[in-house]
Amino acid sequence: MANLKELNKRKELLSGGHRMCAGCASPMIIRQMGLSQEIPLVVGSATGCLEVSTTPNPFTAWNSSFVHCAFENSAATVSGVEAAYRSLRRRGKVKDELRFVALGGDGGTYDIGLQSLSGMLERGPRILYLCYNNEAYMNTGVQRSGATPLGSQTTTAPVGKESIGKKQYPKDLTAIAVAHRIPFVAQASPSHWNDLITKSQKALSVEGPAFMNVLSPCPLGWGYSSEKTIELAKLAVDTCFWPLFEVENGLTWKLSYKPAAKKPITDYLKAQGRFRHLMRPENAAVVEQIQKKVDDDWAALLKRCGAEA
């Protein structure tokens, strides 16, 4: 487990003065991940909220080597950098030990970057891919993505007389990563900082690729007050909407956190403007549908982790 006294001595990966929105979870996630390592990190990030807000030319908020990738190829770009590093190490031209991190939002990971990610996981370089998952294309106007939940209102899945918002469930990208049988896959949340840092330590220590899917609440796109980010992230975990777990080599499943009393999904939905319409009586069936999906998925996860009791 992460030790607070030791973490306080480490250099921050991300400096203050960046231009992320107040209350955005993404810089919190990056700072927590960065604190997991004393070995220097080389970071690549796809175009998105995080990249455009931390690297406005000619400035940078990164206290590390950083490369800006196109929207769709963060995994491929960092794969090339990591391959060059290994080549230089073999020839004795680089002696420093480094670790490599590829970053992308859900749009650049679930959708437009999925081929690049899958290729990286299959080839097997020593890279942590971290998806900061804010469940929509927030940087370009809150359009729906493959990670957007059922019933969520977005600019491309509007709410009206004939629409409840997004009509599809999000794809299970964590399970897709697990299917590649890579050394380490995990889900995490900034509300559980020790868990996120400990998983980052594991992910960056394995010989081979690792994938972390981290929930990243967005005040603008989700419709809540910026001071409630961590409260909302914790609600997602306590309702089991976003369970915390890890998987080693595609086979060994481990539950990271089990709520003492699982909260109803309505506690999570009613706290966000994007789900406000679901609180109307005529949409009660949709809420029941979401609750059933959460319950079924949670039961299946407990079984995989051997944690039913």
With beta carbons less than 8 A apart as the criterion, state whether 79 and 117 touch: no
Gap between the Cα atoms of 167 and 145, Å rounded: 12
Over range 175-188, report the average pLDDT: 98
Amino acid identity at 36: S
Coil, strand or helix: which one is 254? Answer: strand
Q: Is the pLDDT of residue 9 over 80?
A: no
**309: confidence class by pLDDT, cuts 50, 70, 90:** low
Over range 204-233, report the average pLDDT: 98
In the prediction, which pLDDT does 10 show?
83
With beta carbons less than 8 A apart as the criterion, state whether 157 and 163 touch: yes
Strand 65-69 vs strand 41-46: parallel, antiparallel, or unpaired?
parallel
Identify the structural domains of the chain with CATH numbers, from first to last. Answer: 4-305 (3.40.50.970)
Gap between the Cα atoms of 138 and 44, Å rounded: 19
| C-beta neighbour count of 297 within 10 angstroms | 15
E runs forming strands in 205-250: 210-215, 245-248
Structural tokens at position 159? 């709410």
Q: Is the pLDDT of residue 308 over 90?
A: no
Structural tokens at position 70? 């196109």
In the prediction, which pLDDT does 2 show?
74
My answer on whether omega of the bond before 58 falls inside 30° of 0, hence cis, is: yes
Gap between the Cα atoms of 294 and 242, Å rounded: 9
Structural tokens at position 83? 């391959």
Structural tokens at position 121? 């996981």
Model's pTM, two decimal places? 0.96
Q: What is the mean pLDDT of the chain?
A: 96
| C-beta neighbour count of 3 within 10 angstroms | 10
- The alpha carbon torsion through 62, 40, 188, 48 (nearest 10 deg) reads 30
**1: confidence class by pLDDT, cuts 50, 70, 90:** confident
Which residues, in sequence order, are bridge partners of residue 273?
Answer: none
Percent with pLDDT over 90 in the chain: 92
With beta carbons less than 8 A apart as the criterion, state whether 254 and 304 touch: no
* Cα–Cα separations (whole angstroms), residue 274 to 141, 206, 218: 14, 38, 11
CA neighbours within 13 Å on the CB side: how many for 241?
A: 28
- Name the nearest CA neighbour of 37 among 102, 104, 90, 100: 100
Find the DSSP H helices in the chain. Answer: 4-7, 26-34, 49-54, 74-90, 106, 114-123, 173-178, 193-205, 219-222, 229-238, 265-269, 284-305
With beta carbons less than 8 A apart as the criterion, state whether 45 and 100 touch: no
With beta carbons less than 8 A apart as the criterion, state whether 274 and 154 touch: yes
Over range 248-263, report the average pLDDT: 97
**175: confidence class by pLDDT, cuts 50, 70, 90:** very high
**16: confidence class by pLDDT, cuts 50, 70, 90:** confident
Coil, strand or helix: which one is 186? Answer: strand
With beta carbons less than 8 A apart as the criterion, state whether 186 and 199 touch: yes
